[in-house]
Amino acid sequence: MIAQELISQLIQPLRTSDTGEQALTYMQIYHLKHLPIVNNELLLGTISEEDITVNPLEDAIGSFPLSLNKAYVRQSDHLFEVMSVMADHKLSAIPVVDQKDNYLGIITLEDLIQFYARSFSFSEPGGIIVLEINKTDYSLAEISRIIESEHASVLSSFLTHDETSQRIYVTLKTNQIDTKHLEATLERFGYTIKATFSEEGYFESMQDHYDAFLHYLNV
């Protein structure tokens, strides 16, 4: 999945001629705290609600003495790059540009979460296992074979990299609610179990993190 496939066509960017009051109205309509400013299809940057409220609302946003957030992603960037940029800049939406820096649209935090939920088989019952392994030892085929030997299956998976080492974390969604026998088998094959979650516990943990992030953004 790349950025181009998640672009929202329903949310319009701001123009430099829009007033602060108009910009706030659009943010309320879209339930966002950030919107891009575009001039002749060229992305100028992203403005926040806070940027607007400290200036006269009747004035055009193009006249505001701002240092706009210049964060963006390209249409060919992977979903994980999109997530990384949004998290680093604490944005509720990120603009997408083409190779010539022309504005194409935005991706919202809600878009990302909905895609993530669909991709990780949240609707399927099961349990979560997180493995910690060396990058050079990673083989999803081998892990799947081990799990299938216990009459179970991997519904979905994703990787998290440890930037300070050569270790990676492999998060597995299995079709088994009780994963104890899978954990024992994986450990027997030399895998380190970093964490496990019941379906309910994992979703509660993710919901807590999501709620905390939204609270931080004040969305």
What is the full per-residue pLDDT of the chain (219 aa) written as tens digits?
689 889 998 899 999 999 999 999 999 999 999 999 999 899 999 999 999 999 999 999 999 988 788 999 999 888 778 888 998 899 999 999 998 889 999 999 988 888 876 766 666 788 889 999 999 999 999 999 999 999 999 998 888 777 778 899 998 999 998 999 999 999 999 999 998 876 555 555 555 555 555 555 554
Closest by Cα among 197, 198, 132, 199 to 166: 132
Are residue 76 and residue 142 in the same domain, yes or no? Answer: no
Whether residue 216 is contained in a domain is answered as no
Residue 215 lies in a domain: no
Domain of residue 125: give its range. 120-208
Count of the separate structural domains present in the chain: 2
Q: Is the pTM of this model over 0.75?
A: no
